[in-house]
């Protein structure tokens, strides 16, 4: 009887662990001293905050269900959740390194993946649209 209860307890624990939630938080920063305008090419749940610094800071929170820790580590290693900042002169674009994230399947079952992104933008920038930001440049004195 004790062996059966032990086996049953082990199987229940194994079932709980198999559907465990894995979470990880990533932080990145991007220097934008020479940038006057930039765009966001970001999909998903994004929150924009302003701060008194001079870099763009990002915080990405990832939750994944029904995936093994090794599979999650693999996706982290290949940059599935990484962002990059591309500069062209005084313009830039903040975007996902992998623009398209295909669903993750294990044992024929799709893994649920939740990604929340917070972007901290220097307060010297002003929002021009949902995806465009411009530096507040001092107005030049115009002599008449």
Question: Which tens digits make up the pLDDT trace of 86-133?
Answer: 999 999 999 999 888 889 988 889 999 999 999 999 999 999 998 999
pLDDT for res 144: 47
Under the banding of pLDDT at 50, 70 and 90, the label for residue 11 is low
Q: What is the pLDDT of residue 114?
A: 93
pLDDT for residue 16 is more than 50: no
> Quick one: pLDDT band at residue 4, thresholds 50, 70, 90?
low
**Confidence check: pLDDT of 28 > 80:** yes
Task: Tally Cβ neighbours within 10 Å of residue 37.
Answer: 15
| Number of residues written out for the chain | 144
Closest CA to 94 of 31, 24, 25: 31
Question: Chain-centre distance of CA 42, in angstroms?
Answer: 9
Question: What are the residue boundaries of the structural domains of the chain, listed by start?
Answer: 19-135
**Is a pLDDT exceeding 90 seen at residue 45?**
no
**pTM: predicted TM-score of the whole model, two decimal places:** 0.79
């Amino acid at each position: 009887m004790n062996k059966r209860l032990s086996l049953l307890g082990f199987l229940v624990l194994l079932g709980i662990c198999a559907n465990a939630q894995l979470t990880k938080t990533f932080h990145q920063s991007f220097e934008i001293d020479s940038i006057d305008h930039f765009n966001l090419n970001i999909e998903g749940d994004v929150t924009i905050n302003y701060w008194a610094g001079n870099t763009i800071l990002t915080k990405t929170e990832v939750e994944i269900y029904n995936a093994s820790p090794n599979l999650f580590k693999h996706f982290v290693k290949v940059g599935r959740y990484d962002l990059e900042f591309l500069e062209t002169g005084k313009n830039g674009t903040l975007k996902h390194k992998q623009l398209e994230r295909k669903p993750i399947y294990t044992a024929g079952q799709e893994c649920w993946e939740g990604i929340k992104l917070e972007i901290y933008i220097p307060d010297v920038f002003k929002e021009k649209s949902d995806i465009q930001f411009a530096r507040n440049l001092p107005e030049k004195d115009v002599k008449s």
